[in-house]
Amino acid sequence: MTVRAMDRASMGSPAVSPRRTGQVTGRVALHLFTALLALIFTAPFFFSISTSLKSVTELHIFPPIMWPSSPQPYNYVRVFEVVPYGLFYMNTVIIAVTATIGNVLCAAIAAYGFARFRWRGRELCFLILLSTLVLPEEVVIIPKFLMFHIIPEMLFGYSWINTWWPLILPSWIGGGAFNVFLLRQFLMQLPRDLDEAATIDGAGPFRILWSILLPLTQPALATVAIFSFLAHWRDFIHPLIYLNSREKFPLSLGLRWFQQLPLEASEPREHLLMAAALLMALPCIVLFFTMQRYFVRGIVMSGIKG
């Protein structure tokens, strides 16, 4: 490093001192190292995209072909023909969107209660809320399953197992502790003068929340919406235990079902499996790109504040 630095210095750009040149070499090394790491992180994407574009004959060759000689984008269409991937997509969108709306509405209302009103038990409730943030869902997954099986059967005569209710309803009752926490932190930052002025103008608490505070909370609401949408999009364990008929599967279960389909020896389908997996990941990545600013800010808020 130093040799090269001195080399460059002696080659003569008089304005640059040897020390500066050393720093330049250091910076180049830093960039190279970071780029190498980034390459390792991105390589799995490259190989799976490459596989997803291969023809059947190119799949089972060793060593593997880096990039298909004639890429087959039609593989991505084939996925929708071989398995009901369109249906899985639809199901996922319906579940994720309905649950997300519930999460945002519910969490906003609850956060307002925590951020703006003084009530007995508030501190205790907030402490409980914080502790549920680290409570693994797996601890209550069995009784929740039993509850969704038994209680609807008692009330309506049929179990909610193999329906979407258990996937959506908890979002509409509760809103998610993390979401409530995040929105409370945002609401606390808004000046109280806003509420007081609106009260004097005759606005009730619901109106204050809806027409004054929520419009100012938009970045936080967007964060909650993205987090919640992604969480439901990626959710695996809940659909896994609640759903058993294929036509109700979201993508997570559909992809696993595709993966486990008995293999007919004559037709390899790894290229389609790769395409299917990428198709499942794609909306998450697109969402990230379009909402990046909110996203990063939201993660930081959740980790640092409070």
Choosing from 29, 237, 261, 263, the residue that interacts with another protein (CB under 8 A) is 237
Assess 138 for contact with another protein (CB under 8 A). yes
Assess 207 for contact with another protein (CB under 8 A). no
Q: State both tokens at 38.
A: 């980034």
Assess 167 for contact with another protein (CB under 8 A). no
Give, as ranges, the residues between 69 and 98 that touch another protein (CB under 8 A): none
Choosing from 21, 85, 88, 112, the residue that interacts with another protein (CB under 8 A) is 112
CB of 10 to another protein, least distance (A): 25
CB of 7 to another protein, least distance (A): 23
Rounded Cα–Cα distance for residues 137 and 146 (Å): 15
Assess 145 for contact with another protein (CB under 8 A). yes
Assess 117 for contact with another protein (CB under 8 A). yes
The residue behind tokens 């009784």 is: 143
For residue 285, the one-letter residue type is I
Q: Which of 266, 265, 269 is nearest to 255 (CA)?
A: 269
CB of 237 to another protein, least distance (A): 6
Letter string b/e over residues 53-80, b meaning 16 or more CB atoms within 10 A of that residue's CB? bbeeebbeeeeeeeebeeebeebbebbb
What DSSP string describes 216-264? HTHHHHHHHHHHHHHHHHH--HHHHHH--SGGG--HHHHHHHHHHSPPP
Rounded Cα–Cα distance for residues 115 and 96 (Å): 27
**DSSP H or E segment with residue 197:** helix 193-200
Give, as ranges, the residues between 252 and 281 that touch another protein (CB under 8 A): 252, 255-256, 259, 270, 273-274, 276-278, 280-281
Q: Is 41 exposed, middle or buried (0-12, 13-18, 19+ CB in 10 A)?
A: exposed
Assess 44 for contact with another protein (CB under 8 A). yes
CB of 187 to another protein, least distance (A): 11
Assess 223 for contact with another protein (CB under 8 A). no
Assess 202 for contact with another protein (CB under 8 A). no
CB of 252 to another protein, least distance (A): 5
Choosing from 11, 15, 154, 173, the residue that interacts with another protein (CB under 8 A) is 173
Assess 198 for contact with another protein (CB under 8 A). yes
16 vs 231, beta carbon nearer another protein: 231
Q: State both tokens at 295.
A: 């996203």
Q: State both tokens at 44.
A: 């799995």
- Number of residues lying near another protein (CB under 8 A): 98
Sequence-distant (6+) residues with CB within 8 A of 178 are 133, 227, 302
Assess 34 for contact with another protein (CB under 8 A). yes
Assess 45 for contact with another protein (CB under 8 A). yes
Angle at which helices 18-52 and 2-12 cross, to 10°: 120
Assess 194 for contact with another protein (CB under 8 A). yes
Question: Which stretch in 1-9, 14-22, 192-200, 214-222 sits in contact with another protein by CB under 8 A?
Answer: 192-200
Choosing from 15, 70, 120, 266, the residue that interacts with another protein (CB under 8 A) is 120
CB of 14 to another protein, least distance (A): 25
